[in-house]
Amino acid sequence: MSRSIRKWLAFLGTSMFASGLAFIIIEEFAPYKTIGIILMVIGIVIILISNFYKEKRSQD
């Protein structure tokens, strides 16, 4: 269960970071540059949170 949560969080964080980066790169969205920065920061935070859902290793 935790593995699927980790995958979904990583996917969500990556897509939010990518959309924020697109807001910064595309020149027509210049008034929305702050939204792009906020989306990038939220994406990085979600990716960092997904690292806490690691599977426990067996002691074999």
When pLDDT is cut at 50, 70 and 90, the band that residue 24 belongs to is very high
* Residue range 34-53: mean pLDDT, rounded: 94
CA within 13 Å, CB half, 48:
6
* Residue range 43-57: mean pLDDT, rounded: 86
Q: Is the pLDDT of residue 1 over 60?
A: no
* Residue range 10-30: mean pLDDT, rounded: 93
Q: Is the pLDDT of residue 54 over 70?
A: yes
How many angstroms separate the CA atoms of 51 and 49, rounded? 5
* Residue range 2-22: mean pLDDT, rounded: 91
